[in-house]
């Protein structure tokens, strides 16, 4: 393997509409970097087909035959975006000096890749792609994103604000990241744990080139909650504090009731009783749900099932044939 070999890992789920443009833009960037001798001629684009139901794998397979720098792996079914990223990094790490992960929708500016490579050549192991603004987001999404980053910071999770899964990792940074074996993946929180020398590259995020977003509101909320419960037990502490508050309120109400009774002011309190029952019941249900979330994660971890199953691996076949 030549030095400075780059692999660009691109997770794909039903991306037939955008793949032609994605391959064109990434191919131009890769070719230019090779011509400028910034990266090895053995550098590749690795598409990870995450159980797509459309022609995504057919297109990837066609590109693998047509372009020397295009490779791909195919999952046996849909395993999720984070697992697709891990699979791509695992597959490419032995053959790569650096790995860049980027989504296929072209919202992340591919023109930031040369600057990422330049930072790697300057000695950085981790280069985060960071949005320079959120103008393309709705006011609701901007506000919730800011609130989420603040919340994660307060519970001790070190995230890079306005950075998603567009980043460069050196070989040793990737190898270290792959030592984290949890099934409940939240790479935005895991990568900062790796350490090593890091920097940021700023870019303007675009509108999606084509197709539909794979992260609607419900999925984004689930992903955000996974990030919290995968890295912190703060929600359990919050439940304990809430329970203490409820007990204090109940004690205060009990004292108030006894005082009223001693004063002879006894009124049948159907409403207050019902409100109390509903309040305590609601607190209990929320508490059980949060604790159940942690138990569910433990259940997933202890089974030690594989994160993904690769049905076809064109990357390894092509790389070995080129050696």
Contact indicator for 23, 106 with CB cutoff of 8 Å: no
For 233-273, how does the pLDDT look when each residue is reduced to its tens digit (9 = 90+)?
566 667 666 766 776 776 676 676 666 666 666 556 655 66
Domain 6-231+306-322 has CATH 3.40.640.10: no
What secondary structure, in 3-state letters, does the chain show?
CCCCCEEEEEEECCCCCCHHHHHHHHHHHHHHHHHCCCCCCCCEEEEEECCCCCCHHHHHHHHHHHCCCEEEEEECCCCCHHHHHHHHHHHHHCCCCEEEECCCCCCCCHHHHHHHHHHHHCCCCEEEEEECCCCCCCHHHHHHHHHHHHHHHHCCCCCCCCEEEEEEEEHHHHHHHCCCCCCCCCHHHHHHHHCCCEEEEEECCCCCCCCCCCCCHHHHHHHHHHHHHHHCCHHHHHHHHHHHHHHHHHHHHHHHHHHHHHCCCCCCCHHHHHHHHHHHHHHHHHHHHHHHHHHHHHHHHHHCCCCCCEEEEHHHHHHHHHC
Contact 131, 205 (CB under 8 A): yes
167-178 pLDDT, tens per residue?
999 999 999 989
Contact 196, 126 (CB under 8 A): yes
pLDDT at 118: 92
pLDDT at 140: 60
Confidence of residue 144 (pLDDT cuts 50, 70, 90): low
Flag whether pLDDT at 275 surpasses 80. Answer: no
Query: Where exactly are the structural domains of the chain?
Result: 6-231+306-322, 234-303
pLDDT at 157: 66
The share of the chain scoring above pLDDT 90, in percent, equals 24
């Amino acid at each position: 393997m030549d030095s400075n070999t780059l692999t660009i890992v691109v997770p794909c789920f039903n991306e037939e509409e955008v793949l032609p443009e994605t391959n064109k833009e990434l191919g131009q960037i890769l070719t230019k970097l090779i011509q400028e001798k910034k990266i090895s001629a053995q550098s590749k684009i690795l598409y990870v087909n995450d159980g797509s139901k459309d022609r995504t794998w057919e297109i990837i397979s066609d590109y693998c035959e047509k372009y020397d720098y295009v490779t791909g792996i195919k999952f046996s079914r849909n395993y999720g975006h984070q697992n697709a990223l891990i699979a791509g990094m695992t597959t490419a790490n032995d053959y790569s000096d650096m790995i860049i992960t980027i989504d296929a929708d072209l919202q992340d500016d591919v023109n930031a890749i040369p600057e990422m490579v330049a930072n790697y050549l300057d000695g950085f192991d981790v280069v985060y792609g960071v949005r320079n603004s959120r103008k393309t987001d709705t006011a609701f999404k901007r506000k919730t994103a800011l609130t989420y980053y603040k919340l994660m910071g307060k519970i001790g999770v070190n995230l890079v604000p306005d950075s998603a899964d567009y980043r460069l990792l050196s070989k040793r940074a990737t190898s270290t990241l792959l030592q984290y074996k949890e099934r409940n993946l939240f790479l935005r929180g895991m990568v900062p744990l790796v350490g090593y020398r890091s920097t940021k590259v700023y870019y303007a995020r675009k509108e999606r080139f084509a197709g539909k977003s794979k992260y609607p509101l419900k999925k984004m909320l689930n992903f955000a909650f996974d990030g919290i419960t995968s890295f912190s037990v703060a929600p359990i502490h919050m439940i304990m504090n809430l329970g203490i508050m409820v007990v204090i309120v109940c004690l205060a109400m009990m004292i108030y009731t006894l005082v009223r009774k001693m004063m002879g002011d006894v009124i049948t309190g159907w409403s207050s009783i019902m409100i109390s029952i509903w309040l305590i019941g609601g607190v209990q249900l929320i508490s059980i749900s949060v604790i159940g979330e942690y138990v569910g994660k433990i259940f997933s971890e202890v089974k030690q099932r594989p994160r993904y199953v690769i049905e076809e691996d064109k990357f390894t076949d092509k790389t070995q044939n080129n050696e």
